Structures are given as C-alpha cells and as structure tokens.
Amino acid sequence: MAANSFIKTSGNASAATSGNTRSTAITIPADIASGVFFLDCTTVASASADTLNVYLQHSVDGSTWDDFVSFSQVIGDVSTASAKVLAFWNPTGAAPETEMKTATTQTLAAGAVVQNPVGQQIAANWVTVGTGSFTFSVSYNLFRANGR
C-alpha cells in the first residue's frame, strides 16, 4: 500500500472576530483519506469570560452542515498571548462512529473529532462569547488515499 500524499494547505482567517461566523466553504477531492487541522489563535481576548469555539463542518449539499471537528475551547486570559491546537482526522479503515445521525452545528464537544467520512465541502464555523476579540486562522493538510 502506498503512503498517503499531501494535497493542499490553506486557511481561513478572521481579524478581531466576535459573534457567530462560518467561513467560505472549500471543496475537497473525493479521494481525501485523512487530514491534519491547525487552529492558530495569535491574539487572545483578555478576560477569562471571553471564549472562542472553532468547529470544522462538512456538507454534502452546501446548505446542511455537520460538525466533525471541535477544537479545544480558547479562553481569554491576560496571561495567554496565543493558542495553538491540532486536530487529527483519519477515518480510513475504521467503521463509522455513527452510522446514521442528524446533522448538528456547534454541538460537538470541545476537543472532539468525529472519525466518520465527510462530504466534499468543508468550512470553519466559530462562535465567540464575551466582549473581547480573537485573531486566528485555521490551516489544513489533506492526504489522498493510496498516494494518488
């Protein structure tokens, strides 16, 4: 079996974000087998009551979205200058965690990754709470099945 091959790196960024936002969706090739996702929060709000939750969602139709990654929650704090979190998605060869489910948004527990296949459209969705702001980007490396 050939090793997986790297497909692309990109990112979605928001400067001083607050509220609830979804990035522009990207279309991934159908033969993607796994991915590494990186949340790089370069500016963290200063109050501990300020929070940032970032989700990765997938869609098969472009209108119904479902969480498959929920990065660890970033909590504002004067002593924290930045936060960096990796998420590993690799459903290859495993039975789906859930064979049938209702699509949900912003409900996956912080720090969770669902190791199920995903639709060809993915997007980042984020929610902030509090009065502070966060500056962050989400980058990814995707790998094709069978090294194609």
144 pLDDT band, cuts 50/70/90, is confident
The candidate with the shortest Cα–Cα distance to 67, out of 122, 104, 12, is 104
d(CA 55, CA 95): 23
- Name residue, tokens 């370069």: 42
Instruction: State which fold the 5-93+101-142 domain adopts.
Output: Jelly Rolls (2.60.120)
Tokens of 39: 């949340």
Who wins on pLDDT, 98 or 60? Answer: 60
- E strand residue ranges, 32-129: 32-43, 51-59, 66-70, 74-75, 83-89, 112-113, 121-129
Residue 46 has pLDDT above 50, yes or no: yes
Residue 96 has pLDDT above 70, yes or no: no
Residue 146 has phi, psi (to 5 degrees) of 60, 25
Beta-carbon contacts of 9 under 8 Å, excluding residues fewer than 6 positions away, are 139, 140, 141
- Is 45 in contact with 76 (CB distance < 8 Å)? yes
For residue 65, the model assigns a pLDDT of: 95
d(CA 21, CA 139): 17
Q: Is 4 helix (H, G, I), strand (E, B) or coil?
A: coil
Hey, what amino acid is at 23? S
